[in-house]
Chain A
Amino acid sequence: MLAVEMRGVHKRYRASGDALRDLDLEVREGEAVALLGPNGAGKTTAISCLVDLVGPTRGTVALFGRPAAEPAIRARVGYLPQSVGFPDHYRADTLLAFHAALLGIPPAARAARVAEVLARVDLQSAARERLARYSPGMLQRLAFAQALLGDPDLLVLDEPTASLDPLARRRFSDILRDEKRRGKTILVSSHILSEVETICDRVAILKAGVLVRSGRLVELCLTGAVKLHVARLASPSIESLVSAGAEVALDAGGATVRCADDAVRRSADEILARHSIAIERVEPERSSLEEVFVAAVTGSTAA
């Protein structure tokens, strides 16, 4: 079943023009998907459409098969906005108790649930402090705690680690991995690609409101080139391989033949067979997510 389904979503702001252009996005239950894109690409608008903070100009948005505009469906969603805003007269525990009441958590279970999520984000010692005294990082952790409060099936996180220190960031990644293991769906927008690589299965890259690239992370990072590891290469075979378009690198343990595409690969296989050289290992060449991202948003091909 699809946890998130956006079909032909178009959003036009009166002041700034088109933020999303016919966006189609699907997230299956249990998947962790990263929404990437440069600033102003429309990531926050897309996420805001999911929690009905912004209404699409046209197109449909559904969560677990129900329209996103239905308030009841948001009981299954935990949302962490990009800029966190809480009324500062609250204490962390009373604020979360209020949100728990809105979520319909029974009064008897509220205190325990609040204490549990505060402990998960390491805020239990500051639970009774006024939010006016909280640092931006603590507020971010509290916002994450309120997103986890209802044990949601879908976590929608917009730039969740922007104000977190490395320690809190690691804790945050651990919690997300836990949630993923428990079968929860995660949609996260982030500029920290290393973090995305460790958590997400799929990536969707937006540029100027258009989905320019999407797919499984492992597939997106494949460049299409392969490296053939061999034990030894003689001069005639090297000359033949280079003339066929392969790149040859000699090292202490043997040699590596890089074939940029299938045609080169076929020629290299023939040459190696002709010279009776055995291929020890075939390794598909991968680029980093950063390279994929840069290639997608600049329009060039990944290295």
Chain B
Amino acid sequence: MSASLLVAADTLCAMRRRRQLLAGVLLCLGAAGSLLIAAARQDSAPRAAARPGPVRPPGPRARLEQQLAAKRADLRKAVESARRQRDYAHVELGRFRDFHARVLEQAKIPGLTLGSRPLSPDEIASLPGQFKADEREREAIFRRGRELDRDTSRKREAEIEVLKAERTRLGTQPDAENRIEEPPPAAAGADAEKPPLVDQMAEGSAKLSLTAISFGGGLLALVLFCSGIASEIDDRTVRMLLSRPLSRADFLLGRCLGAALVLGAYWTLAGATLCACGAVHWIAASALGYVPWLGFCGSLLLGTLGLVLSLFIRPSLAGVLTWWVSTTSFRWLPPVYAIVPSFQPFNAAVTGEPIGGWDTVFASLYAVDVIAILIGLALYRFSRLDLA
């Protein structure tokens, strides 16, 4: 065990010569931080424009105006929805009738089949009645939908009327303190459109930052686990160490421990970057703690898979194959997961999807289980490898 710790310490010392790798992963963290800061700015920009002065609590008239604007927007939506419903119903019914007409036309041809069975004369005779019933039913559904939209519109109009009456009443009383500038129609339109677009851009930036962090972690894991040990075998530095009273298992476990410590440091730094650069806007504060942990588990899993593959095939090929496996979903062929670990729980964490405490626990247990199996495989292979 003490030999493993010595080898782990040696792995940490060896990071000094991997300056390019360290620069690469720090660049990933820097890029992630910049993207998060940019996302936070994009998010706050429109709100800042809407509030040029000091923030004051809205008065009764201001509140009324806000409610009125919201009701108008709802009304517009209801009217728009009713229009779409009507157009859709019109087109659908037309298609339905055309189809029925074509079927009835073909029914005149002898030998009409339903699937592989020919239709009997009684069935053919009953078709027009069935079709009429279907059409009536559809019309009834569409009508109900239209009536519902109409009711909603009427309700909104009534609410707007009430609010207008209230405004008129307030308008007779001086309420200078609560007076708000009526925004020009164009500006109001722009304000209504802008937030969703800005939100999307900001969210995209936030997700991109998580991708950059995840990429840095994956790169670090592959270089440390996959290329690190394989290159030691290739350049024969491993022979000097293994000629010492050091078992191969101690050597491999020591290297894995050292690499895991480096990955741990990286993900701690990544977590600090997320907190410092405002990721809390995009990830729930409770889930923010899970992201670095799940990212760490995912990187460790990626690294150990790369390690096992690099002991069987060329390290470069092992790296590419591992990366491909980690980024590909095999949902279309679930039996693949019997031999290939799933990266889904860890990828979900770094794509900003909501994560719960239990998800994290299960993902961690899964990682521990698979990593133990992979390290066992690596030990088995490494103990039988000729190092001449």
Contact = CB atoms under 8 A, between A and B. Distances in A.
Interface string B345-388: 00000000000000000000000000000000000000010111
Nearest to B244: A102
B45 interface: no
Interface size class of B (residues with CB under 8 A): 20 to 34
B237 A87 contact: yes
B237 A72 contact: no
A71 B245 contact: yes
Contacts of B239: 53, 81, 85
Interface string A125-167: 0000000000000000001001000000000000000000000
Nearest to A19: B388
Contacts of A81: 236, 239-240, 243
Interface stretch (A43-51, A260-268, A294-302): A43-51
B241 interface: yes
Contact of B240 (A45, A85, A89): A85
A86 B244 contact: no
Contacts of A13: 386
B243 A79 contact: yes
Interface string A36-64: 00000000110010011111000000000
A102 B6 contact: yes
A52 B388 contact: no
B16 A102 contact: no
A73 B244 CA distance: 9
A92 B51 CA distance: 66
Contact of B387 (A53, A86, A98): A53
Contact of A102 (B237, B241, B388): B241
A88 interface: yes
Q: Determine the main DSSP class of B at the interface with A.
A: helix
B104 to A, nearest CB: 75
Nearest to A89: B17
A215 interface: no
Contact of B386 (A55, A72, A99, A143): A55
B387 A48 contact: yes
Contacts of B241: 102
Nearest to B10: A98
Contacts of A73: 245
A26 to B, nearest CB: 21
Nearest to B249: A71
Given A81-B239, A143-B240, A102 B246 contact: yes
B44 interface: no
Given A72-B245, A75-B245, A102-B6, A86 B240 contact: yes
A49 to B, nearest CB: 9
B384 A55 contact: yes
Interface size class of A (residues with CB under 8 A): 20 to 34
A85 B235 contact: yes
Contacts of A89: 13-14, 16-17
Nearest to B236: A85
A113 B241 CA distance: 18
Nearest to B247: A71
A70 to B, nearest CB: 9
A48 B388 contact: yes
B336 interface: no
Chain A CB within 10 Å — which of B14, B240, B386 has the most?
B240
Contact of B6 (A51, A77, A98): A98
Interface in A100-127: 101-104
A53 B235 contact: no
B3 interface: yes
B242 interface: yes
Given A98-B6, A102-B6, A103-B245, A53 B388 contact: yes
Given A87-B17, A102-B6, A52 B242 contact: yes
A243 interface: no
B237 to A, nearest CB: 4
Interface string B175-207: 000000000000000000000000000000000
A287 interface: no
B237 A85 contact: yes
Nearest to A44: B388
B379 to A, nearest CB: 14
Interface in A206-231: none
Nearest to A83: B236
Nearest to B16: A89
A74 interface: yes
Given A48-B387, A87-B14, A53 B6 contact: no
A102 B235 contact: no
Nearest to A102: B244
Interface of B: 3, 6, 10, 13-14, 16-17, 235-237, 239-247, 250, 384, 386-388
Task: List the 6 closest pairs (A to B, CB-CB), nearest first.
Answer: A89-B17, A79-B243, A85-B236, A85-B237, A75-B245, A53-B387
Given A53-B387, A81-B243, 5 more contacts: A45-B388, A71-B244, A71-B247, A79-B240, A87-B237
6 contacts: A48-B386, A52-B242, A79-B240, A83-B236, A89-B16, A102-B246
